[in-house]
A = this chain, B = another copy of it.
């Protein structure tokens, strides 16, 4: 296959994906679900953040999760928190695509969910290129990965709506130039919502929970307004 042909194939895959993602967004909106696409390197803290978030919010909000993975290790961990979690076996793919998410959503009663967390595959590159119909791209970077990550994986940081800098408790034992990191992020994505946190100690997580609560509140309000408009018309 020539390089040109290959690029055409890739563009074709991306455009089909975007169409499917738009359909998923419509489904989520109709059910009044706020959904996030959670992305990070392997070991950045995606599952730890989900466990903490579910623990903090499950009494107030109706939560569900979807986990893109080769093996169900994380699904089992999340299920111990007592929420519905669906595995998407990516079959070795390095990212989720909209067509993989669709059958997982079929297995969830979306009308009974306020917040849906989609855990993407551990990878800072390809997940950035595939929309899933979710409302926010949430990226986790972590202190041990080093302060140069925005410079090395620009597409991921450019496409983020929210950035969590995890494992800030490691700042006690590791050099990490937060200003250099922030400058790299700001150059790509000015005014990005940013939460420095530690999923191990819990530091900084309240602000993240508040942000989620606010998004769910807006989604629920918007959904009720839409229903009134439909009923009133």
Residues of A within 8 A of B (CB): 1, 6, 9, 12-13, 16, 41-43, 69-71, 73-74, 92-94, 121-126, 129, 142, 144-146, 148-149, 151-155, 167, 170, 172-173
Q: How far is B13's CA from A43's CA once the two chains are assembled, in angstroms?
A: 29
Pick from A43, A92, A146 the residue with the most CB of B within 10 Å: A43
Sample of 19 A–B contacts (CB below 8 Å): A1-B9, A1-B16, A41-B122, A42-B124, A42-B145, A43-B149, A69-B152, A71-B151, A94-B123, A122-B153, A123-B124, A126-B126, A142-B144, A144-B145, A144-B167, A144-B170, A170-B170, A172-B173, A173-B173
Choice from B13, B41, B92, B170 contacting A42 with Cβ under 8 Å = B41
Q: How far is B123's CA from A16's CA once the two chains are assembled, in angstroms?
A: 25
Choice from B43, B123, B126, B154 contacting A146 with Cβ under 8 Å = B43
**A89 smallest CB distance to B (angstroms):** 13
Q: How far is B12's CA from A142's CA once the two chains are assembled, in angstroms?
A: 37
Q: How far is B41's CA from A27's CA once the two chains are assembled, in angstroms?
A: 34
Choice from B73, B152, B153 contacting A151 with Cβ under 8 Å = B73
Contacts of A74 in B (CB 8 A): 152
Choice from B12, B92, B142, B167 contacting A155 with Cβ under 8 Å = B92
Contact B167 A170 (CB under 8 A): no
Which chain B residue lies CB-closest to A146? B43
Choice from B16, B125, B142, B145 contacting A94 with Cβ under 8 Å = B125
- Count identical subunits in the complex: 2
Contact A70 B153 (CB under 8 A): yes
Choice from B1, B73, B144, B148 contacting A144 with Cβ under 8 Å = B144
Contacts of A153 in B (CB 8 A): 42, 70, 122
Q: How far is B142's CA from A148's CA once the two chains are assembled, in angstroms?
A: 17
Q: How far is B173's CA from A65's CA once the two chains are assembled, in angstroms?
A: 30
Contacts of A152 in B (CB 8 A): 42, 69-71, 73-74, 122
Contacts of A121 in B (CB 8 A): 125
Contacts of A92 in B (CB 8 A): 125, 129, 155
In the complex with contacts A94-B94, A142-B144, A154-B70, A42-B9 CB distance below 8 A: no
**A45 smallest CB distance to B (angstroms):** 9
**A93 smallest CB distance to B (angstroms):** 8
